[in-house]
Amino acid sequence: MLVLAVVALIVPLAVSLRDRVDAEVRLEARTEAEAVASRTVSVIAPPNLARLKSLASTAAQAVSGRVVIVNKSGQIVADSDGAAALGSSFANRPEIAAALTGHVSQVKRYSTTLSAEILATAVPVYTGSSPGGAVRVTQSVNSVTAAIRRAWLGLALIGLLVIVLGLVAGAVIARRITRPIVRLDEAARRVADGDLTAAATVEGSTEQRALATSFNTMTERLNVLLAAQREFVADASHQLRTPLAGMRLRLEEARAQATDAEQSQELDAAIAEVDRLALIVNELLELSRAGEGKPPLAVTDCATALHGAFERWRAAGANVGCAVQLGSIEETQFACHHSDVDRILDAVLENALAYAPGTPVELSAAAGVIRVSDGGPGLGDGEGEALFERFHRGEAGRVGPPGTGLGLSIVRELARRWGGDVEIADSPAGGAVVTISLPQATILPNPYDSSNRIES
Ligand SMILES: Nc1ncnc2c1ncn2[C@@H]1O[C@H](COP(=O)(O)OP(=O)(O)O)[C@@H](O)[C@H]1O
Ligand SMILES: [Mg+2]
Give domain status of residue 26, yes or no: yes
Whether 172 maps to a domain, the answer reads: no
| 173-191: average pLDDT | 90
Instruction: Calculate how far, in angstroms, residue 394's C-alpha sits from the geometric centre of ligand 1.
Output: 6
Do residues 11 and 121 both lie within one domain? yes
Do 369 and 390 share a domain, yes or no? Answer: yes
* 242: in domain: yes
* 444 band by pLDDT with thresholds 50, 70 and 90: low
- The sheet carrying 369-373 orders its strands as 324-329, 361-366, 369-373, 432-437, 421-426
CATH at 29 = 3.30.450.20
Helix (H, G, I), strand (E, B) or coil at 439: coil
Instruction: State in Å: Cα 354 to ligand 2 middle.
Output: 8
CATH of the domain at 280: 1.10.287.130
Residue 151 has pLDDT above 90, yes or no: no
- The answer to whether residue 217 sits within a structural domain is yes
Domain assignment present for residue 193? The answer is no
* Same domain, residue pair 6 and 119: yes
Whether pLDDT at 454 is above 60: no
- Around ligand 1, the residues with Cβ closer than 6 Å are 351-352, 355-356, 374, 376, 378-379, 387, 393-397, 403-408, 432
Same domain, 141 and 229: no
In terms of domains, do 307 and 395 share one?
yes
Whether pLDDT at 452 is above 70 = no
Residue 450 inside a domain? The answer is no
14 and 143 assigned to the same domain = yes
* Residues 327, 239 within the same domain: no
Strand-strand pairing, 361-366 and 324-329: parallel
Same domain, 308 and 353: yes
Ligand 1 binding pocket mutation candidate from 349, 374, 393, 409 (most atoms within 8 A of CB): 393
Q: Which ligand is nearest to the CA of 390?
A: 1
Answering whether pTM is above 0.85, one says no
Contact 193, 248 (CB under 8 A): no
pLDDT-based confidence at residue 443 (cuts at 50, 70, 90): low
Evaluate whether residue 107 is within a structural domain.
yes
Ligand 1 center from residue 234 Cα (angstroms): 24
Task: Mark which of 290, 319, 335 sits at the end of a domain.
Answer: 290
Whether residues 137 and 225 share a domain: the answer is no
Domain span at 427: 300-437
As to burial, measured by CB atoms within 10 angstroms (0-12 exposed, 13-18 middle, 19+ buried), residue 308 is: middle
Q: Are residues 36 and 64 located together in one domain of the fold? A: yes
Q: Say if residues 418 and 439 touch (Cβ distance below 8 Å).
A: yes
Residues 185-190 have a mean pLDDT of 92
Ligand 1 closest atom vs CA 404: 22
Give the total number of structural domains in the chain. Answer: 3
User: Could you report the per-residue pLDDT of 83-117, keeping only the tens digit for each?
Assistant: 888 889 999 999 999 999 999 999 988 888 778 88
% of the chain exceeding 70 in pLDDT:
96
| Cβ neighbours for 56, distance < 8 A, ≥ 6 positions apart | 36, 67, 68, 69, 78, 79, 80
- Whether 335 and 285 map to the same domain: the answer is no
Residues 280 and 313 in one domain: no
Tens-digit pLDDT profile for residues 27-85: 988 999 999 999 998 888 888 989 999 999 999 998 888 999 999 999 999 999 888 88
